[in-house]
Each structure stands twice: as structure tokens, then as C-alpha cells.
């Protein structure tokens, strides 16, 4: 039975909850959100290969130019949950289009920046716009799709996440190779402008509107507590290259305390029948959400940091150009893209088993890559490692897409934005930890031994440790599903019919 038929038949719990009727434009609208999401995630890594050129052209210090990358990531993470809640309360379409328009304007400002200060300011604003746009992507998928169609849509979304993260170095290298001269780095930002304008125009035509929530109150105190807590965790990580982990270690316990206060406040709001910024029942009542968020955070610790380590090894250790360095890791992106689309079709049938197999594939692929780069002749090692990277990419495609689907599929549509924002906040925190820790380990080993291969093995070994932890969590969840009835889904009505929710309604 198709998703549309299930909805019409009354057996789709999401349809019962929201009066779902399939939007005839939903697949074309999906591509608008995917293009916008691709741009916002690509901009996390695409700039890294251009940092030396930016530093020379704008006469910036290493600490200043690092903020071109870390400032974007910081602003991105700070906005996610608040932006998701705004989309739930107001109109996801409106928030998405405003944020996308802001992203385009900030991209143009980044490309035109005359000095490093204005470039950093523009990047902070661009990251904020991306953070407001990102949770609307997953929320609009939940709003537009149901059943097996939702799994397919999240498959495309997962492919977008995987490709954008892995393709950043290649795309940045290609743009630098095509745009000659010292000012060529500006096209890394300008390329977003025509694509973004087209996405805005199509989005105005195709994206569905969201009915305004009757509970539109925004928990401003919760916004402050959550924002300060995330900032306390992120700031030492984005300052890692400048010694932030040693100087600012005290921000980690401070951040934990702030997030504990935030959690307590959200529980009290729910108990009083008020609308929280992030409903705690997402983690306690909605099947798979807490586990999926944990798996995603642990996976992104390793997944995000490995690309910077590969870039350092290939460009500094082997003397590759940015373009050649990007080409060397392209097999992972190709494998991830092909597998993620297929995984979206299989997730309803195999569930968490896909994530377990995918994580095993990533670990085998990256482990094989490490061995080849460590022991094969240097001249041949990058090309000998390509099949292993392709295997790792296939595994990655079976991790990101199914995990997003299983984490968000049972979330009530009214919570979709906040849930997607919280999920991506965990991923951004994991990514920030990985991009700070893995290059740090690389430089630590390199400084002591001057051995690029040894530095690579150590850093990628740490990435594999994070992925092994994610695999252990996914395996435990899969085994629990088998014991309790093959992963019985928790319907959105179970949250909607919660006694506390009943008082709210």
C-alpha cells in the first residue's frame, strides 16, 4: 500500500494527527530543500582548502583566518533548536525562505569582503542563516511525506548530508583551480548566489505552508540557557587551534550545568502545560529518537574530522594540490551518495540493522584505508586506497540516511522542527569535536616524530574509536528491537495522548 493510500485509509498515524493530504508538488519541493541544505552543509568544509589563499590575500593571522571556518560552524550550531521551534510555531516555509535569502546575501557579502574582519562577520551571519534554514529541511520532509515515501525522502536527505560533507574539499579545490589569481577564493562564496536565488524563486512556488500553531509562545529563557550551554561546549572546540582546549576547559562543566538547567526548565514547562522550546518527551517517549541522536553525534565525531586529516596528509605530507587532494577522497563521496538513496528505500524493511551494517562498512573501509596509506608505497598509496574509501562511503550511506529516518520518523509533525534542530545540534557538536581533536592529534604526533604516516594513523585511529562507540550503541538498539518485537514503532499519537499533552490541548 502506498503512503497516500495508507493516509486515505486512516491507518497512517501521522495522517490522523495532522490531516495529511499528499502535496502534488512534494517531490519537486524536496529538491529545493535539498539544494539549499547542500549549500549550507558544503560551506562547513569547502572553505578549508582556501584558507591559505585567503590568509595571504587579506593579510590575516592564522587565528583570524581560522574563524572563517569555526565562526560559521559556531553560529550554525547555536541557531538550530530555536530555529526549529520557530518553524513549528509559525510557518516553516516562511522561515526557510527568509533564511535562504539571508544565506544568499551573506554569501555575496563574504565574496566581496575587503578585509578579514568583515569576512568573519559575514561568515558568522551566513552560519546563523544556515542554522535557521537547516531544521526546516527535515521538518518539511516530515510535513510533506508519510510512510515509505518519507523513508525515500530521508534517503535523498541523507545522501545530501554525506555528499556535502565529503565533497567540500573537492569542490573547493575545483573552484580554486578554475578561478585563477589571488582573488579566486571569492568564487567559493559567489557560487552560492545564483543557485540560492533560483532556490528561493522555486521555493516560493513549490513549498507548502505550515498552519500557525496555537501554542506559538517562545520560551526565551530556554533559548538563552540552551544558547549559552551550546556556546560553552562549542567555543573551546572552535578555538582548539589557538589553545582553546587548554585555556577554556572550564567552559565544558559550565556548559553541562547550563544544559542541565535547560532540561529542568523544559520539564517544568511541560508539567505546567506550557509549550517548551524542546519537549523532553522526544527523548523519553518517542521510540528511537534518543538512541538515534546518540548514534549520530558519535558518528559525526569521526566522520567530520577525517576530511581535514586527509587534506593535511595529502597536501602537506605528499604535496598534492587542493584539487588532487579532493579527488583522492572522492570515492567515499561517490559510495555514500549511491548507498544513501538505496538505503532510504530499505529502511522500513530492515530498520536499525542497516545502521549496524553501515557502521561496520565504514569501519572496515577506513581501517583498510589506514593500513594502505601506512604500508603501501607512497606514490601508489592514495590510488590503492580508493576501493577501501569507496567501501567506507557505501557504509556511510547506510548510516546517515537510515539513522535520520529512524530518529525522526515517529516524531509528531508539530515537533518536527525542534526535533530536527536538536538532532543536528548533536551532530554539529560531534563534528566540532572531531574537527578540533583529530587535526590536533595529527599535529601532535607530527611535531614529535615528523612522521606524516604515523600522524595519519593516530588521527584516523581516534576517528575509528568514535565510530566503534556508535556501532556499539546501534548494535545494542538493534538487539533490543529483536527482543521486543522487531522494533515496534511508537506512533505520534502516543505522545499526543500523553496525559500532560492532553492538559496542553
What number of other Cβ atoms are within 10 A of residue 182's Cβ? 11
> Do residues 140 and 29 make contact, with C-beta atoms less than 8 angstroms apart?
yes
Q: Which three cell numbers stand for residue 376?
A: 603501501
Nearest of 299, 373, 389 to residue 335 by alpha carbon: 389
**Residue 206 CA: distances (Å) to CA of 23, 52, 154, 203, 462:** 9, 40, 18, 5, 44
Query: Could you give the CA distance from residue 382 to residue 331 in angstroms, rounded to a whole number?
Result: 11
Nearest of 240, 252, 301, 165 to residue 443 by alpha carbon: 240
H or E element that contains 48: none
Three-class DSSP category at 296: helix
Q: Which residue has the cell 529545493?
A: 32
What are the b/e assignments for 232-269, b being 16+ CB within 10 Å? bbbbbbbbbbbebbeebeebeeebeebbebbbebbbeb
Look at residue 470 and tell me if it is in a domain.
yes
Q: Structural domain of residue 43, as residue ranges? A: 25-208+217-504
Q: Which residue has the cell 563521496?
A: 333
Look at residue 14 and tell me if it is in a domain.
no
- Does the CA dihedral 96-154-173-373 come out positive or negative? positive
**Residue 172 CA: distances (Å) to CA of 191, 255, 270, 501:** 11, 34, 46, 48
Mean pLDDT of all residues belonging to the chain? 81
Q: Which three cell numbers stand for residue 371?
A: 593500513
Helix axis angle for 289-312 and 26-45, nearest 10°, is: 50
Look at residue 13 and tell me if it is in a domain.
no
Instruction: Give the rounded percent of residues in the chain with a pLDDT score beyond 70.
Output: 88
Look at residue 161 and tell me if it is in a domain.
yes
Look at residue 3 and tell me if it is in a domain.
no
Query: Could you give the CA distance from residue 383 to residue 389 in angstroms, rounded to a whole number?
Result: 10
Query: Could you give the CA distance from residue 385 to residue 331 in angstroms, rounded to a whole number?
Result: 9
Q: Which residue has the cell 547542500?
A: 38
Look at residue 138 and tell me if it is in a domain.
yes
* pLDDT tens sequence for the chain (505 residues): 444 444 433 334 444 444 567 778 889 999 999 998 888 888 877 787 777 788 888 888 877 887 888 788 888 888 888 888 888 778 889 999 999 999 999 999 999 999 999 999 999 999 999 989 988 888 888 888 877 788 788 778 877 876 776 677 778 778 887 876 667 889 989 989 999 999 999 999 999 876 655 455 677 888 888 888 888 887 887 776 666 667 888 888 998 999 899 889 888 888 888 778 788 888 888 888 889 889 988 998 888 778 778 888 888 888 888 778 878 888 888 888 788 778 877 877 888 899 999 999 999 999 999 899 888 887 788 888 899 999 998 998 898 878 888 888 778 877 777 788 788 778 877 877 787 778 878 888 888 888 888 888 998 988 998 899 999 999 998 988 787 764 444 444 444 444 334 433 3
Length reported for the chain: 505
What number of other Cβ atoms are within 10 A of residue 11's Cβ? 12
Q: CA 442: distance to chain centroid?
A: 24
Query: Could you give the CA distance from residue 242 to residue 119 in angstroms, rounded to a whole number?
Result: 19
Following DSSP, what letter does each residue of 422-484 receive, concatenated?
HHHHHHHHHHHHHHHHHHHHHHHHHHHH--HHHHHHHHHHHHHHHHHHHHHHHHHHHHHHHHT
Look at residue 83 and tell me if it is in a domain.
yes
Cα Rg, the chain, nearest whole Å: 22
Look at residue 376 and tell me if it is in a domain.
yes
Total domain count, the chain: 1
Domain at 462, CATH number: 1.20.1250.20
Amino acid at each position: 500500500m502506498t503512503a497516500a493510500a495508507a493516509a486515505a485509509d486512516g491507518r497512517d498515524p501521522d495522517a490522523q494527527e495532522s490531516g495529511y493530504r499528499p502535496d502534488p508538488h512534494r517531490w519537486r519541493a524536496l529538491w529545493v530543500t535539498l539544494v539549499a541544505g547542500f549549500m549550507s552543509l558544503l560551506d562547513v568544509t569547502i572553505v578549508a582548502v582556501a584558507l591559505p589563499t585567503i590568509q595571504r590575500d587579506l593579510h590575516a593571522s592564522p587565528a583570524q583566518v581560522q574563524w572563517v571556518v569555526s565562526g560559521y560552524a559556531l553560529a550554525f550550531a547555536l541557531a538550530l533548536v530555536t530555529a526549529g521551534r520557530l518553524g513549528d510555531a509559525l510557518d516553516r516555509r516562511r522561515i526557510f525562505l527568509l533564511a535562504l535569502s539571508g544565506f544568499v546575501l551573506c554569501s555575496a557579502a563574504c565574496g566581496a569582503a575587503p578585509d578579514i574582519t568583515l569576512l568573519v562577520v559575514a561568515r558568522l551571519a551566513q552560519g546563523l542563516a544556515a542554522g535557521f534554514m537547516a531544521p526546516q529541511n527535515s521538518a518539511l520532509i516530515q510535513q510533506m511525506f508519510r510512510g515509505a515515501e518519507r523513508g525515500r525522502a530521508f534517503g535523498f536527505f541523507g545522501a545530501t548530508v554525506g555528499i556535502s560533507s565529503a565533497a567540500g574539499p573537492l569542490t573547493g579545490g575545483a573552484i580554486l583551480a578554475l578561478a585563477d589569481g589571488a582573488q579566486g577564493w571569492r568564487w567559493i562564496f559567489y557560487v552560492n548566489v545564483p543557485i540560492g536565488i533560483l532556490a528561493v524563486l522555486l521555493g516560493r512556488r513549490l513549498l507548502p505552508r505550515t498552519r500557525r500553531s496555537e501554542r506559538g509562545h517562545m520560551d526565551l529563557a530556554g533559548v538563552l540557557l540552551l544558547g549559552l550551554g551550546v556556546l560553552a561546549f562549542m567555543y573551546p572546540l572552535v578555538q582548539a587551534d589557538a589553545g582553546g582546549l587548554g585555556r577554556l576547559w572550564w567552559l565544558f562543566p559550565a556548559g553541562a550545568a547550563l544544559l542541565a538547567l535547560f532540561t529542568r526548565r523544559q520539564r517544568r514547562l511541560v508539567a505546567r502545560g506550557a509549550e517548551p522550546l524542546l519537549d523532553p518527551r522526544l527523548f523519553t517517549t518517542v521510540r528511537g529518537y534518543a538512541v538515534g541522536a546518540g548514534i549520530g553525534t558519535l558518528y559525526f565525531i569521526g566522520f567530520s574530522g577525517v576530511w581535514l586529516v586527509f587534506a593535511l596528509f595529502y597536501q602537506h605530507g605528499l604535496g598534492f594540490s587542493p584539487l588532487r587532494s579532493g579527488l583522492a577522497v572522492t570515492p567515499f563521496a561517490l559510495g555514500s551518495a549511491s548507498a544513501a538513496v538505496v538505503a532510504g528505500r530499505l529502511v522500513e524493511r530492515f530498520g536499525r540493522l542497516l545502521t549496524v551494517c553501515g557502521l561496520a562498512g565504514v569501519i572496515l573501509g577506513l581501517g583498510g584505508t589506514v593500513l594502505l596509506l601506512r604500508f603501501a608505497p607512497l606514490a601508489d598509496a592514495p590510488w590503492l586506497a580508493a576501493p577501501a574509501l569507496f567501501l567506507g562511503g557505501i557504509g556511510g550511506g547506510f548510516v546517515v540516511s537510515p539513522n535520520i529516518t529512524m530518529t525522526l520518523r515517529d516524531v509528531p509533525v508539530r515537533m518536527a522542527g525542534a526535533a530536527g534542530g536538536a538532532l543536528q545540534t548533536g551532530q554539529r557538536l560531534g563534528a566540532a569535536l572531531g574537527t578540533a581533536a583529530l587535526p590536533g592529534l595529527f599535529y601532535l604526533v607530527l611535531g614529535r616524530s615528523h612522521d606524516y604516516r604515523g600522524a595519519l594513523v593516530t588521527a584516523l585511529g581516534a576517528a575509528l574509536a568514535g565510530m566503534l562507540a556508535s556501532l556499539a550503541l546501534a548494535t545494542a538498539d538493534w538487539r533490543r528491537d529483536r527482543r521486543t518485537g522487531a522494533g515496534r514503532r511508537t506512533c505520534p499519537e502516543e505522545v499526543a495522548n500523553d496525559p500532560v499533552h492532553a492538559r496542553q490541548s
